[in-house]
Amino acid sequence: MRRFFAFILLLISGMALMLFPATAQTVIPPTFTPLPSSTPVPTITIIPPSYTPPGCFAPLGFAPGTVVVLTPGVNVRNLPSLSGAVVNYYVEATVLTITDGPICADGYNWWRVQGAGNPGWVIEGRPGRYFLTSISGTPDPSTLCYPPVELIVGERARVITGVRVHTRAELASLVMTVAPRGSLLEVLRGPVCADNLNWWQVRVAFGNASIVGWVSDGYPENQWLETERPTATPTPYCPRPLRLDLGTRVGVVYHDGIARSLRAEPSRSGALVQRLVGGVALELIGGPVCADGYNWWYVQIVTTDITGWVAEGRPGDYWFDVIFENWTPTPAGN
């Protein structure tokens, strides 16, 4: 039996060698195909738009120590910038002294001033509409006045706008009454320069009697008095027109309750085009033209096709206010 089992084992081994010959096997490593490289994403650089601050006109020839008159209604700021805080505001022309400047900012030349209230920075304006006027010579308070209105003692003066009658030739004195627009005053004495204004002693009607007091004649572009010299053929006189550029928008204003007139010609006798109530916006497209004692502007009613001529009024009683002032900046030095 043992021989039989040995034979069987030998037979099975031989068959295994026939079916599975002992040969060396070659291992083939897997082939890796690299993925295609991705297209590089371009780098985007965002360049902010450059900002070029508006230029300034050539500044006025002021220097520290220059005495100037500031037009009323101009803000005095703590910084030479339109975003600076307002530290002072004058309702009347004021004499100030330059202490620093100029500095160009926001399209304006700025000067630092002091002399009344808080010191600060003001804009000088632009050619044709300056807000600062130099006063030459020694700043003697008795001489710091504009040229007076040409009134003659013994004649009468007409009130352009309501004017206060003081007990003395100074702003701090007691106000006795207010002479209404259009009233006539008898000139008794003057002029006397005080508080940067020219003062006249006048006689003014007061109820059934009259009183004597002092009135000032205002400023060159805002006069409160004018002469009344009777002539056989009076010649209408036009004050200097407002310094406005075409394209400026204005709004109609009045204080007497009477709507203003838009006319076909620059004349009080021109055909009426339309009545203009307070607040109506107009755009200046022509003018000014002097006629009948008024400066007239050719205007278009905003958002309409209606055009015509409207009078600007007179100093102290203008018939429109500026809403938007048109101007074209010019580089410094031009």
Q: What confidence tens digit (pLDDT) does each residue in 192-250 have?
A: 988 778 899 999 988 888 899 999 988 765 678 888 765 444 456 677 888 888 999 99
Note the pLDDT of residue 9.
60
Nearest to 331 by CA among 105, 30, 126, 55: 55
For residue 154, pLDDT over 80 is answered with yes
Q: What is the chain's mean pLDDT, rounded? A: 79
215 within 8 A of 178, measured Cβ to Cβ: no
Q: List the chain domain ranges.
A: 67-142, 145-228, 249-324
249-324: which CATH number, 3.90.1150.10, 2.30.30.40, 3.40.50.300, 3.20.20.100? 2.30.30.40
Question: How large is the C-alpha radius of gyration of the chain?
Answer: 43
Which tens digit of pLDDT belongs to each residue from 40-49? 655 655 555 5
For residue 137, pLDDT over 60 is answered with no
Supply the CATH classification number for the domain 67-142. Answer: 2.30.30
Of residues 325 and 224, more confidently modeled = 224
CA dist., res. 216 & res. 306, Å (int): 41
> Letter for the amino acid at 329?
P
145-228: what CATH class?
A: mainly beta
Q: Retrieve residue 1's tokens.
A: 């039996």
